[in-house]
Chain A
Amino acid sequence: MCLGVPGKVVTVEGDFADVDFGGVRRKVSLLLYPEVGEGDYVLVHVGFVIQRLEKQEALQTLELFAEIEKAYEESTDEEP
């Protein structure tokens, strides 16, 4: 029950982190999991980090998307 989305921590400021989800950023609370640093991959539910993800595993999903996105952008001309 519950949407949990993996993202990458961009910056940490006190009890909050700015987390990147494929280009979209959200301000996320660290109250339930303060031990995160910049560059970490985290699982987010209702605006809270609930778990840090092992980089290896998180990358399986995120990197694949980045690869896909990169390949996609290279194969089409983006409008200005």
Chain B
Amino acid sequence: MKSQLTRSHEAGSSASLLEEIAALARKPTRFMEVCGTHTVSIFRSGIRSLLPQSLELISGPGCPVCVTPLGEIDQAVALAREEGVALVSFGDVMRVPGSSSSLSQERAGGRDVRVITSPLDAVEIARGEPHKKIVFFAIGFETTSPAIAAAITEAKRQGVRNLSILSSQRLIPPAMRALLSSDAVQIDGFLLPGHVSVIIGKAPYSFIARDFSLRGVITGFEPLDILEGVVMLLRQIQEGRAEIENQYTRAVQVEGNERARRIMGEVFSPVSARWRGLGTIPDSGLALREEFKEMDVAVSFDIPYKDMADPPGCRCSEILQGLTTPPHCPLFGARCTPEDPIGPCMVSSEGSCAAFYKYGGLS
């Protein structure tokens, strides 16, 4: 019964969308899904196996773990090794290899490293364990930063003194601008991140159409959403349009979530940030404002960022920019696997390489 209902709803609609895609994608076409969660959705639903040969979907830099520089992982690892520290972060980052260790290895080695699923957990842990120094390795994009900001505001309001933040947050539109400014990248359109857009709305993407004459569709994460997003991009091409459209209307308001942006702005200010694969991009990261500076790790710990080169042979940088695909990396599947990753594209469940390794590749 259950399977019949699912099938009739989804398979029916997907069939007609796929037909339209096949009809519209006659010439070689490349779209970039900016967001790592889209990459996972695409692979899990098997969409790649259903698209025509002429249509290529490439993964962009919207994977917080993939674009986090080695040096920041090293900082987190070093902090986890400090006396009296409990390092907390989201599960996504646990297995990312730094230059010598990862957070999950530190935990196996007996360090106090904990996985949280909400920034408020960090505050609660700090309150409940006043004798420990809680360090929150805060990763994420605009979807997550307002929540992190709200938690920090709460911590201050509650007088929590033992919480420090290692901010590793990044902003999407500046990264897209940097990507588009490079001549190497050839893209016909973007599937724009649905949940980042819930926060920022539609306006921040208008530069894509205005300055680069390119198109983007804000897209949801169900298989049907993604297929619809692709259809909308293809229709734009066919009709000679380059616009920003919203497929994810059930969740994304054109104006975004204004309160969330305000709270984010009260706690954080945009700063220059390093992106693995894209280099340093101005105003693409977030740092604590003056009123919250006492919570910065730099105040309580002397563990500065040290730039580390990518492991030799690793082509994560190019993969993140959409310049090549995982099978073209000599380490892929051979020396670099999900159990033993060399670069973050393999370690992150949403990294191109992990997604490709687990979900792609069949005779």
Contact = CB atoms under 8 A, between A and B. Distances in A.
Interface of A: 1-4, 29, 31-34, 43, 45-48, 50-51, 53-54, 57-58, 60-61, 64, 67-69, 71-72, 74-75
Contact of A32 (B62, B194, B259): B259
B198 A4 contact: yes
Contact of B150 (A2, A32, A51, A71): A32
B263 A50 contact: no
B59 to A, nearest CB: 11
Looking at A1, A33, A47, the one whose CB has the most chain B CB atoms below 10 A away is A1
5 contacts: A31-B150, A32-B259, A57-B249, A71-B1, A75-B2
A4 B150 contact: no
Given A31-B154, A67-B5, A45 B119 contact: no
Contacts, number: 111
For chain B, the bracket of interface size reads 35 or more
Interface of B: 1-2, 5-6, 9, 35-37, 62-64, 90, 117-121, 140-141, 143-144, 146-147, 150, 153-154, 193-196, 198-199, 221-222, 249-253, 257, 259-260, 263, 350
A31 B120 CA distance: 11
A18 to B, nearest CB: 15
Looking at A33, A45, A61, A64, the one whose CB has the most chain B CB atoms below 10 A away is A45
A71 B109 CA distance: 49
Contact of B257 (A47, A50, A58): A50
B150 A54 contact: no
B120 A3 contact: no
Given A1-B196, A67-B5, 5 more contacts: A29-B118, A47-B119, A50-B257, A51-B253, A53-B250
- Secondary structure at the A interface, as helix, strand, loop or mixed, is mixed
Nearest to A35: B259
A64 B118 contact: no
A54 B252 CA distance: 10
Given A4-B195, A61-B222, A51 B257 contact: yes
A28 B32 CA distance: 33
A32 B250 CA distance: 18
A80 B263 CA distance: 48
A22 to B, nearest CB: 13
A29 B154 CA distance: 11
Nearest to A76: B1
B142 to A, nearest CB: 9
A71 B143 contact: no
Given A51-B257, A71-B1, A43 B249 contact: no
B94 to A, nearest CB: 16
Contacts of B150: 29, 31-32, 48
A43 B6 CA distance: 22
Contacts of A33: 257, 259-260
A24 B112 CA distance: 29
